[in-house]
Chain A
Amino acid sequence: MSRLHPAYLWLARIAVAGLFLAACIAKIRDPELFALAVNRYRILPGEFVNLVAIVLPWIELLAGLAVLVAPARLRAAGALVITGMLSVFTIAISLNLLRGIEASCGCFSTRADAAVSDAWNLVRNGALIWLSLAVFLDAFRRAPSKESP
């Protein structure tokens, strides 16, 4: 992972950033439907559902932009935040699957007819975690150190 070809790293940045930028659109457009999707995970206390629905899409947007266009340190931060979000999403989807909750993941669509989550979502998230970690490690290594001449 730590020695990926620069072309692969660019592809990883485009894939991770592109997915998160695409994912935030529906959530920003209709926060009420996204709040409903968050509530369906049955993980957060009701008091925190709207807070997450209001803020999370903007974290996705800014982290996606950071991975795509920001200098190394901010890019590393964006990739680390995305890795963290993906890990939390993966745990949440796994819990839904284990509990037999037939909900959509709320990842890219907040519509009622969005596909129900399945094991494919976990595979996709696993691949995205791998890519975002690769972007993070590369960017963190490139970030200028204050001690450098």
Chain B
Amino acid sequence: MTGRTPVRRGEILRLAGACAGLLAAAVALGTAVNTLRPASSRLPWVGDWEHHVESKAFRAGIPVAFLAGARDRVENPAVVVFDARIREQYEAGHLPRARSLPLGEADRRLGDYASLLTPDTPILVYCGGADCTDALELAVKLRGYGFQKLTLYPGGVAEWTEYGGKIREGGQP
């Protein structure tokens, strides 16, 4: 330590004061700008994240894939992709390779895909977008049937199309 100037307590306090000032200015700026935003883009100080589908999936122990992960799985023929929406929505446009398995008909129609599925088959489920929970409920149901490698794509058809993903129409995958 020879030759080094000891750091004085006052210097530490002045540094702490500068840090506090910088943080306080950031809080003031963030608050002011958020308050002045148009109501459509203003963020409430407390959001309802506990009821967001991704938070529900996390609590339910269902892994989540975002757009990049969903693209990888859709392109991977080893992954079975299930569309949890009603049949009419599926036929109007679904992700490539997706098969229709509406939540309300899952118990009855799961047997149609028995030849594709083993407990270790990787499965991706989705529905309309972040506002729907059908895909999460379907994933929980499938887990109850013993399927282990389930992944939820919460962005669903809405995000997929927004980012230029291909959509297939009709009743075939």
How far, in whole Å, are A114 and B30 apart by their CA atoms in the complex?
A: 24
Q: A50-B46, A55-B26 are in contact. List 12 more A-B contacts (CB 8 A).
A: A35-B43, A36-B54, A39-B55, A40-B54, A51-B45, A58-B25, A62-B22, A74-B22, A101-B63, A104-B68, A115-B68, A145-B10
A115 CB, min distance to chain B CBs, angstroms: 7
How far, in whole Å, are A116 and B10 apart by their CA atoms in the complex?
A: 44
Q: Do the beta carbons of B19 and A54 come within 8 Å of each other?
A: no
B residues less than 8 Å from A31 (CB atoms): 34, 41, 43
Q: Do the beta carbons of B30 and A58 come within 8 Å of each other?
A: yes
Sorting the interface of chain B by its residue count into under 10, 10 to 19, 20 to 34 or 35 or more gives: 35 or more
B11 closest partner in A (C-beta): A145
**Interchain residue pairs A-B with the least CB separation, the first 10:** A46-B49, A77-B18, A58-B26, A59-B26, A55-B30, A50-B47, A58-B30, A102-B69, A112-B67, A77-B19
Q: Do the beta carbons of B31 and A116 come within 8 Å of each other?
A: no
Most-contacted residue by chain B among A49, A58, A59 (CB, 10 A):
A58
B14 CB contact (under 8 Å) in A28, A104, A143: A143
Can you name 6 A-B residue pairings with CB atoms under 8 Å? A46-B52, A54-B45, A77-B15, A101-B64, A140-B15, A143-B11
Number of interface residues of A (CB under 8 A): 47
B12 closest partner in A (C-beta): A140
How far, in whole Å, are A140 and B8 apart by their CA atoms in the complex?
A: 12
B126 CB, min distance to chain A CBs, angstroms: 13
Given A32-B41, A50-B44, A55-B26: A39 touches B49 (CB 8 Å cut-off): yes
Most-contacted residue by chain A among B21, B43, B44 (CB, 10 A):
B43
A63 CB contact (under 8 Å) in B22, B30, B33, B67: B22
Q: Do the beta carbons of A103 and B30 come within 8 Å of each other?
A: no
Among A33-57, those with CB < 8 Å from B are 35-36, 39-40, 42, 46-47, 49-51, 53-55, 57
How far, in whole Å, are A62 and B33 apart by their CA atoms in the complex?
A: 14
A147 CB contact (under 8 Å) in B10, B45, B65, B155: B10
Given A77-B15, A81-B19: A46 touches B26 (CB 8 Å cut-off): no
Q: Do the beta carbons of B49 and A49 come within 8 Å of each other?
A: yes
B165 closest partner in A (C-beta): A113
B50 in contact (CB, < 8 A): yes
A73 CB contact (under 8 Å) in B8, B14, B23: B14
How far, in whole Å, are A58 and B43 apart by their CA atoms in the complex?
A: 15
A62 CB contact (under 8 Å) in B26, B43, B47, B64: B26
Given A116-B68, A143-B11: A54 touches B22 (CB 8 Å cut-off): no
